[in-house]
Amino acid sequence: MQMLDTTIVNIALPDLARDLGASTSQQLLVLTVYTLSFACTLLTAATLGARVGRRRMFVIGMVAFTVTSVLCGVSTGPGELIAFRGLQGVSAALMSAQTLALIAALFDKRRHGLVFGVYGAVAGLAAILGPVVGGFLVDADVLGWGWRAIFFVNVPLGVLSCLLAHRRLPAAREPTPGRVDVPGVVMSATALFLLLYPLALGREMGWPPILWVMIGTAGILLALFALHELRVDARGGTPLLRPRLFASRRFTVGLLLSLLFFSVFAGFFFTVSISAQFGLGYSAFRTGMLALPFAIGAAVGSLCSPRVVVRLTAPHTLTAGALAVGAGFVWLAIIIEPAAETLPWPGILGPLVLGGLGTGLFIAPLQAVILSDTTESTVGTATGTIPTVQQIGASIGLAVVTLFFFGQVAGQTAETVPVVRAELVAALPDSPVRPVLHVAVADRFASCAGEQLRSAHPERPAPACAGGPTSPAIAAVAAQARPWTQDAARSVTARTFLAALRTTLVTLGLVAVAIAVLTTALRTRQTP
């Protein structure tokens, strides 16, 4: 549920914004406040679970998540929704931080590879299916709820999960949990907030100096946090994050792989989603359905991963998965033709399924690799660290890929705008616009289109062109040319976004190949 809610809101955002009157910055906060509160609470939630019992903390988190989902669904304004989304993120962290530790307590260590793989597959599929489920619920307008259905759907799931958890899960409480590392809690949560907040809102705010100060301060705090944890551990205390975990190559390299892979994963779905919705004008449901072939491939890869691990070993399976992801992204980039102004269907099915297959092969065994060297005393801390690193990776990926993608959008205008301008000049003789004005109309279109696509927000009209002409004579000409200029606007937007998507996919594919190379660091003689 918590992974589903990280992506399900993306598709419903346009409808949500229209209904609540949310500004662009408020829309962004609806998305980011969840991941911010989620990531900043995970390590603390893992510690609390060890003290009060992981089953109890899981049920508390599930109840809180269900209640906050209802509150999100009944929100009457953007401020309310943002506040409740923040609380929902905290609730999600209370659940997520306990999950892997509960699995470790339920199953014998010899079966951990299989069950952790299944958990990783389910979590990955939930994140992938978020756009599909969100698009369906919004377009179907279930019970007239519109976008609110994406939150109300959590209620029956939450009630059922609470009942099953109370009856089936072990208490999983550490016998001697030790004192809560309060300084570690404060430093880690503050550092994560100072790091993730700029990454989430930097583009919207134009990257003012204060955001860079926050990132620098986060780096200092993280260094102080590391020193504090080393000191607490050396004195025999109970640190929030046990330094001895990083003595394991599998744990350290596995976390780095998780950070990088989730950066690529988040960046891929962002660029595909925004290209489909803003670049091609796809509906929420149609955009969400683009994730379905990927999800099918991920399901197959996840189900096959245990057998592949037995045949190839876990590190080799991770290598194969990352290479498949890279091949899928590059293949998709090759078949995209910007001049077609749409995604080639059914041609995109193959690369999407291949990318999903690689994702399933990678995510499913990765958590088992990370936790393979943990002990009963360290597994709780480790299970809180994994989703924290995943959230940091997703935030970094979104920030970096967003900058790169929109930089590509701006750069592609030098090629796409002149081509579409020439096509508009050739089409205007069929319009009622006087021939003497054809070039002027085309020049005005090219100026506005170029300014919009080169701006920090190419999905919005350029400020100088948003209000329309003020002169009655010019307004009359604009009205006569509007059907042709609107067609040209759709054309130039589609071509520009698709060209940017193609370049971004190649780049992400190369990063996936680099991840595959990094997996070789896990290959040792002791690898099973």
pLDDT digits (tens, 9 = 90+) for 22-58: 776 677 778 778 888 888 888 888 888 877 888 888 8
pLDDT at residue 379 in the model: 72
pLDDT at residue 492 in the model: 93
Nearest of 352, 310, 283, 351 to residue 110 by alpha carbon: 310
Asked whether residue 172 is assigned to any structural domain, the reply reads yes
**CA 314: distance to chain centroid?**
25
481 Cβ contact list (under 8 Å, min separation 6) = 428, 431, 433, 441
Number of domains in the chain: 1
- Over residues 193-222, the mean pLDDT reads 88
- Over residues 158-164, the mean pLDDT reads 88
- Separation between Cα atoms, residue 336 and residue 456, nearest integer Å: 24
- Separation between Cα atoms, residue 198 and residue 211, nearest integer Å: 5
Asked whether residue 153 is assigned to any structural domain, the reply reads yes
Residue 133 has pLDDT above 90, yes or no: no
Radius of gyration of the chain (CA): 25
Asked whether residue 266 is assigned to any structural domain, the reply reads no
Residue 266 has pLDDT above 70, yes or no: yes
* Lowest-confidence pick of 49-58, 100-109, 236-245: 100-109
Better-scored residue on pLDDT, 330 or 144: 330
Nearest of 386, 502, 409, 489 to residue 441 by alpha carbon: 489
State the pLDDT confidence band at 512, using cuts at 50, 70 and 90: very high
Residue 414 has pLDDT above 60, yes or no: yes
State the pLDDT confidence band at 469, using cuts at 50, 70 and 90: low
Length of the chain counted residue by residue: 528
State the pLDDT confidence band at 476, using cuts at 50, 70 and 90: confident
- Separation between Cα atoms, residue 200 and residue 484, nearest integer Å: 38
Give 249-255 contacts, CB < 8 A, sequence gap 24+.
249/521, 249/522, 249/524, 250/369, 250/370, 250/372, 250/373, 250/522, 251/370, 251/371, 251/373, 251/374, 251/382, 253/518, 253/521, 253/522, 254/366, 254/369, 254/370, 254/522, 255/370, 255/385, 255/386, 255/389
- Over residues 414-419, the mean pLDDT reads 93
Give the angle 249-6-251 at the CA atoms, nearest 5°. 5
- Over residues 181-185, the mean pLDDT reads 85
pLDDT at residue 88 in the model: 93
Asked whether residue 204 is assigned to any structural domain, the reply reads no
111 Cβ contact list (under 8 Å, min separation 6) = none
- Over residues 108-128, the mean pLDDT reads 72
Q: Which domain holds residue 26?
A: 1-112+128-178
Residue 528 has pLDDT above 60, yes or no: no
State the pLDDT confidence band at 227, using cuts at 50, 70 and 90: very high
pLDDT at residue 464 in the model: 67
State the pLDDT confidence band at 527, using cuts at 50, 70 and 90: very low
- Separation between Cα atoms, residue 478 and residue 108, nearest integer Å: 72
The residue behind tokens 């999600």 is 92
First to last CA, the chain: 33
State the pLDDT confidence band at 395, using cuts at 50, 70 and 90: confident
- Over residues 397-417, the mean pLDDT reads 89
The answer to whether 129 and 4 are in contact (CB under 8 A) is yes
Measured over the CA atoms of residue 345, residue 349, residue 351 and residue 356, the dihedral's sign is positive
- Over residues 257-278, the mean pLDDT reads 90
Residue 6 has pLDDT above 70, yes or no: no
State the pLDDT confidence band at 331, using cuts at 50, 70 and 90: very high
- Separation between Cα atoms, residue 399 and residue 145, nearest integer Å: 32
- Over residues 325-334, the mean pLDDT reads 97
- Over residues 10-31, the mean pLDDT reads 76
278 Cβ contact list (under 8 Å, min separation 6) = 458, 459, 493, 497
- Give the DSSP H or E segment for 250: helix 249-274
Asked whether residue 104 is assigned to any structural domain, the reply reads yes
Joined together, the tokens standing for residue 422 give: 């020439």
Measured over the CA atoms of residue 34, residue 37, residue 42 and residue 45, the dihedral's sign is negative
CATH number, position 136: 1.20.1250.20
pLDDT at residue 320 in the model: 95
- Over residues 86-95, the mean pLDDT reads 91
With helix as H, strand as E and coil as C, how does 279-312 read? Answer: HCCCCHHHHHHCHHHHHHHHHHHHHHHHHHHHHH
The answer to whether 138 and 149 are in contact (CB under 8 A) is yes
State the pLDDT confidence band at 175, using cuts at 50, 70 and 90: low
Residue 125 has pLDDT above 50, yes or no: yes
- Separation between Cα atoms, residue 415 and residue 498, nearest integer Å: 13
Better-scored residue on pLDDT, 179 or 234: 234
Residue 192 has pLDDT above 90, yes or no: no
**CA 182: distance to chain centroid?**
30
- Over residues 442-456, the mean pLDDT reads 88
Residue 1's SS3 state is coil
> Model confidence over 423-434: pLDDT tens digits?
999 999 998 889
* Lowest-confidence pick of 53-57, 177-181, 400-404: 177-181
pLDDT at residue 5 in the model: 66
- Separation between Cα atoms, residue 69 and residue 28, nearest integer Å: 18
Give the other-Cβ count within 10 Å of 491's Cβ.
Answer: 18
Nearest of 381, 302, 309, 376 to residue 104 by alpha carbon: 376
Nearest of 131, 147, 129 to residue 285 by alpha carbon: 131
pLDDT at residue 378 in the model: 74
pLDDT at residue 120 in the model: 67
Asked whether residue 19 is assigned to any structural domain, the reply reads yes
Asked whether residue 30 is assigned to any structural domain, the reply reads yes
- Separation between Cα atoms, residue 249 and residue 372, nearest integer Å: 10
* Lowest-confidence pick of 233-242, 294-303, 344-353: 233-242
Asked whether residue 150 is assigned to any structural domain, the reply reads yes
- Over residues 344-369, the mean pLDDT reads 90
- Over residues 392-404, the mean pLDDT reads 85
pLDDT at residue 87 in the model: 94
pLDDT at residue 305 in the model: 85
Residue 252 has pLDDT above 50, yes or no: yes
% of the chain beyond a pLDDT of 70:
92
pLDDT at residue 303 in the model: 82
